Amino acid sequence: MAVPFNENPTEKKSTRDGFGRALVEIGEKDANVWALTADVSESSRTHWFAEKFPERFVQVGVAEQNLASTAAGIASCGKISFISAFGAFSPGRNFDQIRVSICYSNLPVIVHASHTGLTVGPDGASHQILEDIALMRSLPNMNVLVPSDFEQVKKATHALYEAKSPGFLRTSREKVPVFTTPETPFSLGGSNTFIEGEDAAIFACGPLVPYALEAAKELKGEGISCSVVDLYSVKPIDRKMIESMAKKTGTLVTVEEHQVHGGMGSAVAEVLCSFKTDATLRIHGMYDKFGESGPAKELLKKYKLDTAGIKGVVLEEVKKNKG
């Protein structure tokens, strides 16, 4: 049964706000929660936590390697640390520190990467990290979540806190429609099937989920019925759902604001090749390219990650399979 969602959301909120709000809730609940940032407290939304709990907030300055290792030191004293910075720099710049100081030691440090993906927009390619999911999901002990709207990010932040282990949370800069509610399910290793269809299944994550929903709606008008799954938990991943969608539709398409190498699509491919199936998989994202400056909307259009782009890719795949 499909999970209900708001088909005509009126409110837009940025996912990083969801993180900032949840962080304050968690800080109120647990005095062992600390937050650190690298000169981006306001833009990564840790400033609300900083105002409320200055004694548990650490500003390290422009030093992302230090951000990760200092957080590990704090976590090793029985604390849970959240580190926030732009994804391009954390985990872009501190992979070794996340790998050894945090993951190898299995410490509860949650890496919050804000400003990820193409939708960073005008700042251009250097700031549009499109490789972070690949980096983070390759690490043992690490959970990787790419939630799709304000409400889901709040739940993701709580889920990573409750896991008390290394975690990675990907948020973005743009305001996106709030199409879920506080009641929408969310769990580590879970997924939400918002639309059920037979001809193809679209797996999307992060801010691309609303575009995938819209694409499915338009395709339905053209006689093609698609399932749409919000595959927010990239690691652990919902194997059962992938298996059942492969069986049901035979045509899988993943869409993400990430390189096609190593991201959510690759995670799906790893599951798909672990059982016998005739289903095909199209991994859609950035095809081994860097981004560029421009408004988020125009960039998604250019790289075929908006409604029309996703629709086109699904059509290609359906045609291929149905001959």
Partner 1 sequence: MAFKKIEGITELKLVANTIRVDIVKMLSEAGSGHPAGSLGLADIFTALYFNIMNHDPQNPSWEERDRFVLSNGHVCPVLYASLANSGYFPKEELSTLRLLGSRLQGHPHRGALPGIENSSGPLGQGFPIAVGMALVAAREKKNWRVYCVVSDGEQQEGQIWEAAMLAAKFKLGNLTAIMDRNYIQIDGTTEDVNPLDPLGDKYRAFNWNVIEVDGHDIEAILAAYAQAKEITDKPTMIIAKTVPCKGIPFMEGLVEWHGKTPKEEETEKAYCALLEECKLIKEGK
Cis (ω within 30 of 0) for the bond into 9?
A: no
Measured in whole angstroms, the distance separating CA 90 from the mean position of its chain's CA atoms is 15
Rounded Cα–Cα distance for residues 225 and 221 (Å): 9
Q: Which position among 101, 128, 148, 152 is part of the footprint of partner 1 (CB under 8 A)?
A: 101
106 binds partner 1, rule: CB under 8 A: yes
The H or E element that residue 3 is part of is none
Shortest distance in whole angstroms from residue 104 CB to partner 1 = 5
Q: Does 72 bind partner 1 (CB under 8 A)?
A: yes
Smallest separation (angstroms) from partner 1 to the CB of 165: 12
- N-terminal to C-terminal alpha carbon distance within the chain: 29
Residue pair 282/221 in contact by the 8 Å Cβ criterion: no
Residue 4 parent element (H or E): none
Q: How many Å apart are CA 97 and CA 267, to the nearest integer? A: 23
Helix (H) or strand (E) holding 235: strand 233-235
**What residues numbered 43-62 form the site for partner 1, per CB under 8 A?**
55-56, 58, 60-61
Q: Does the footprint of partner 1 cover residue 157 (CB under 8 A)?
A: no
Distance, CA of 284 to CA of 273 (rounded, Å)? 18
Q: How many CB atoms sit inside 10 A of residue 181's CB?
A: 12
For partner 1, give the closer residue by CB, 91 or 291. Answer: 91
CB of 64 to partner 1, least distance (A): 9
Pairwise CA distance, residues 301 & 54, whole Å: 42
- Taking CB under 8 A as the binding criterion, the range among 74-82, 220-228, 235-243, 287-295 that sits at the site for partner 1 is 74-82
How far is residue 215 from each of residues 46, 188, 202, 312, measured CA to CA in Å? 34, 26, 9, 9
The least CB distance from residue 86 to partner 1, in Å, is 17
CB of 100 to partner 1, least distance (A): 5
Task: Assess 126 for contact with partner 1 (CB under 8 A).
Answer: no
Residue 316 among the catalytic residues: no
| Residue from 1, 10, 77, 323 in contact with partner 1 (CB under 8 A) | 77
Q: Does the footprint of partner 1 cover residue 6 (CB under 8 A)?
A: no
CB nearer to partner 1: give 105 or 126: 105
Q: Choosing from 25, 42, 51, 64, which is the catalytic residue? A: 64
Residue 90: CB minimum distance to partner 1, A: 13
Among 4, 7, 12, 73, binds partner 1 (CB under 8 A): 73
293 lies in the site for partner 1, by CB under 8 A? no
Q: Which stretch binds partner 1 (CB under 8 A): 68-76, 235-243, 252-260, 263-271?
A: 68-76
Instruction: Render the burial of 165-177: b for 16+ CB within 10 Å, e for the rest.
Output: bbbbbbbbbbbbb
Site of interaction with partner 1 (CB under 8 A)? 55-56, 58, 60-61, 63, 65-66, 69-77, 79, 96-97, 100-101, 104-107
Catalytic residues: 64
